[in-house]
Structure 1
């Protein structure tokens, strides 16, 4: 290709990275997030907040640090997110009298309602983000991603 011929999105080369699992995972992650955010942002439903609220609802009393570690969120960022959700009345933080550093979390009634009201919308948006894969391909990808992430197989 001469200098006069500019590469476009379809012809831009990344050489050996094009066969790198890590590189392709990152591009796929960005693509899925972009598609999901495009659908949810219009409805003011941040997927990160929904994920945290869903996890708290399914695991009442989960410690803030455990949740941060599992979702790979820096503790300082998680603290800000939790304070925001608490300020909006969606969760409550419970401080252990034995260890004041151990913060456990529980949804409020408003938080439970918010999660339930947005569940179908979020699941639909997430599923649409990988609609180019058929059901068997999605199951295979889920299994492989769980393995890479160190999560148990279902």
Structure 2
């Protein structure tokens, strides 16, 4: 009987090693700004398309409406997101960044840029481009659309 494959024989293992390291360091960086990675993703998703109904945001991010509602509650409490009621339908509302939330986006984006540079700066430009193309191709071919938030 053949010996089972080693853990390190699997591409998924190496993706997880790198992903965990990149994610944990980024989480540490944004926590210094009093937001989580999920909150940053939520805010960045709103940045270019506000105001946005929660259902649209949930679909765009590949999250449940419940998860979007919880994130919205936390960000409203932090003064970074606001709700606007729909005058035609009082049950409906849209989400937008507050002035404070909008001002945080460049700061948080620079932390994301810094985190990428720290982890992927050890690759040549060609290697980095190739890695990006491969990962995007995998996501497209597997129809992966959910925004990673943890």
Q: Same fold (TM over 0.5)?
A: yes
**Structure 1 pair 127–144 and aligned structure 2 pair: CA distance change class (3 A):** same
What do you get for the CA RMSD once the two structures are aligned? Answer: 2.9
3-state SS in 1 of match to 2:94: strand
Q: Are 2:5 and 1:15 aligned?
A: yes
Determine which of 99, 106, 118 is the counterpart of 1:109.
Answer: 99
C-alpha deviation, 1:59, in angstroms = 1.6
Tell me, in whole angstroms, the C-alpha distance in 2 between the residues paired with 1:33 and 1:146: 18
Aligned ranges for residues 2-81 of structure 1 at < 5 Å?
Answer: 15-81=5-71
Tell me, in whole angstroms, the C-alpha distance in 1 between the residues paired with 2:85 and 2:138: 34
- What does residue 121 of structure 1 align with? 111
Q: How many residues align?
A: 138
TM-score computed with the length of structure 2 as normaliser: 0.70
Contact 2:30 2:108 in 1 (8 A): no
Return 36-45 or 86-95, whichever deviates more. Answer: 36-45
**Structure 1 pair 74–90 and aligned structure 2 pair: CA distance change class (3 A):** same
3-state SS in 2 of match to 1:93: strand
Higher relative contact order (CA 8 A, sep 6+): 2
Structure possessing the higher radius of gyration over alpha carbons: 1
Q: Which ranges of structure 2 fall in alignment gaps of 5 or more residues?
A: 146-150
TM-score computed with the length of structure 1 as normaliser: 0.69
Tell me, in whole angstroms, the C-alpha distance in 2 between the residues paired with 1:147 and 1:94: 38
Moved over 6 A (4+): none
Tell me, in whole angstroms, the C-alpha distance in 1 between the residues paired with 2:132 and 2:8: 21
C-alpha deviation, 1:53, in angstroms = 0.9
